[in-house]
Amino acid sequence: MDQAKPRLLIHGASGRMGRALLRLAAERPELQLVAAVSRSGEPLAEAPDGVPVLPVARLAEVPDFDVAVDFSLPEAFEPLVAACRAKGAALVSGTTGLSPGQLEALDEASELMPVLWSANFSVGVAVLRVLVHQAAAALPAWDADIVESHHVHKKDAPSGTALSLGAMVALGRGSQPHYASLRCGDVVGEHLVQFAGPGERLELVHRATDRDIFARGALEAAVRLAGKGPGRYDFGELLLASGRT
Ligand SMILES: NC(=O)C1=CN([C@@H]2O[C@H](COP(=O)(O)OP(=O)(O)OC[C@H]3O[C@@H](n4cnc5c(N)ncnc54)[C@H](OP(=O)(O)O)[C@@H]3O)[C@@H](O)[C@H]2O)C=CC1
Ligand SMILES: O=C(O)C1=N[C@H](C(=O)O)C[C@H](O)C1
């Protein structure tokens, strides 16, 4: 094993995102994939030879790792944070639908380890958040609505991205938008933020057409987060600060 490279754990490996991560981790020679975890631990065709796939019940037995990339479900949250703490590892998580208590627990964990949670790991949404903040500040009296569409398998609503865009609206104008959620077909993820005033409407839209963008964004975050000190890190700041996307 090459100990100079941050050792990567993929958590939620059997899911839509987990399988994309397993496939795309090979694009990041800066990282060394050492293990994958899913609920069942059943073998995965996407896992490279020699990389064990463990069931979550055996999470305590995973080999040492430096950074975990997690796309799973809220019920998997506590054991994963505990495992990262035990290993002294960084956590990159894109799991949505976390409870307010679980989000607070991320703050607490970040006193001991680097933590980056983001509802959306696409470059476009990182920029959209900035634009929504600006538009909301400029249009405080207009109606604000967020419409999100996702595939039928998605469990949480509104989406994490919709809620994070809503937080930008609230930051810009002091009031929350209204939300609408559609679950249809195999839509990867679409978010429309609409400001409506008398006689006109401003629409800001992001459409994801390939979930590989989220996997690549999370792996980029893992590369940038590994080796940093404890703290809460923001995907947009980490990504856009360098001016390189
Ligand atoms: N932030 C972002 O950019 C994005 C976030 N997401 C979010 O990522 C999450 C995963 O999405 P997706 O891949 O589509 O979901 P899937 O349902 O396809 O995958 C979920 C994964 O979590 C595992 N899992 C479920 N329950 C547990 C548990 N109790 N303990 C351990 N592992 C568990 C599943 O294992 P098993 O198969 O064995 O049940 C599976 O590997 C969602 O919250 C989604 O909203 C998705 C895309 C982008
Ligand atoms: O579950 C998904 O698929 C997605 N979830 C994230 C969310 O809840 O915002 C991000 C993306 O839209 C895909």
Over range 159-178, report the average pLDDT: 98
- Report the number of secondary-structure helices (H) and strands (E) in the chain: 7, 11
The verdict on ipTM greater than 0.95 is yes
Question: What CATH class has 7-117+212-242?
Answer: alpha beta
pLDDT (tens digit, 9 = 90+) per residue, 27-68?
Answer: 999 999 999 999 999 999 999 999 999 999 999 999 999 999
Domain boundaries, the chain: 7-117+212-242, 123-208
The stretch 124-141 carries a mean pLDDT of: 97
Burial (0-12, 13-18, 19+ Cβ within 10 Å), 4: exposed
* For residues 176-198, average pLDDT: 98
Other Cβ atoms closer than 10 A to 152: 10
**Mean pLDDT within 209-218:** 98
Ligand 2 centroid vs 58 CA: distance in angstroms? 27
Q: How many CA atoms lie within 13 A of 100 on its CB side?
A: 0
Which atom of ligand 1 lies closest to the CA of 159? 45
pLDDT at 21 over 70: yes
The answer to whether 5 is a known catalytic residue is no
From 214, 216, 235, give the residue whose CB has the most ligand 2 atoms within 8 Å, as the site to mutate. Answer: 214
**Residue 1 pLDDT exceeds 50:** no
Please name the fold of domain 123-208.
Answer: Dihydrodipicolinate Reductase; domain 2 (3.30.360)
155 part of the active site: no
Q: Are strands 67-70 and 90-93 parallel, antiparallel or unpaired?
A: parallel
pTM metric for this prediction: 0.96
